[in-house]
Each structure stands twice: as C-alpha cells, then as structure tokens.
C-alpha cells in the first residue's frame, strides 16, 4: 500500500508496528488527527505561538499587546519580545501570572518558563 505511514502499536491483523496512516485516520475526528500530528511535529511550537498571539490581547490587555513585538515558543519556553523598557519591567514582575494565563488559555501546561527580551 502506498501513502503515509504512522508508527504505533500493531492492530489486530497487522503484521508489524507500522500502520498505514490512512487506516488510522478513520478512527479519529479531524481535530484529533491534527492534534496528534502536531504533537509529533516540529510545527507545534509555531502553531502554539500563533494561538497565543491571537489571544494575547485577551490574556494580557490592550496596552501590553500593543507594545509586544513578538511572541515565540521554543520547547517549553515562551519568549516575549518588546523594545519598551517599562513594559519589560512590568512583564518581569508578571512572569508567574503570564505563565498561568497562557497555560490556561492553551488548555494544558505546555509552558514552563517565560523569558522577556
């Protein structure tokens, strides 16, 4: 069979640990399949950063969102970039709050550290 393959535990009737990707897809909804793909993909950090960027104003407020230049995720670390010195100070004091709010917004504890640059 040609196509994509997904490594997993063998299903009944499957001779090896490699299961045809399309065979598995019938068992999951599209949302579940995308979540599984992202969990194994290097794209996960970029997708999470996009999600955080979209809800950043709701999480931290309009003023902070307006002066935040960039948000990145590398591993379990959230990097927040800003060129406004007073905002950097304020964000440094609010690291724990940012950590809690971002993890709550994502629905799981993915971020373990916040770095302000």
Q: What is the pLDDT of residues 19-71, one digit of tens each?
A: 555 555 567 777 787 777 767 776 666 777 777 888 888 988 898 999 999 98
CATH 3.30.300.20 assigned to 44-116? yes
C-alpha dist (Å) from residue 101 to 81, 92, 98: 18, 15, 5
Q: What is the pLDDT of residue 109?
A: 87
pLDDT of residue 50: 78
Radius of gyration of the chain (CA): 19
Task: Give CA–CA dist 21/3, Å, rounded.
Answer: 7
pLDDT of 1 over the 50 cut:
no
């Amino acid at each position: 069979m040609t196509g994509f393959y997904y490594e997993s535990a063998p299903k009944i009737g499957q001779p090896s640990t490699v299961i045809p990707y399309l065979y598995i897809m019938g068992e999951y909804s599209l949302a579940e399949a995308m979540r599984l793909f992202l969990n194994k993909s290097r794209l996960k950090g970029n997708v999470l950063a996009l999600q955080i960027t979209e809800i950043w104003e709701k999480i931290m407020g309009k003023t902070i969102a307006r002066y935040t230049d960039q948000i990145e995720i590398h591993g379990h670390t959230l990097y927040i970039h800003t060129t406004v010195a007073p905002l950097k100070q304020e964000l440094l004091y609010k690291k724990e709050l940012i950590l809690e709010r971002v993890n709550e917004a994502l629905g799981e504890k993915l971020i373990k550290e916040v770095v302000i640059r």
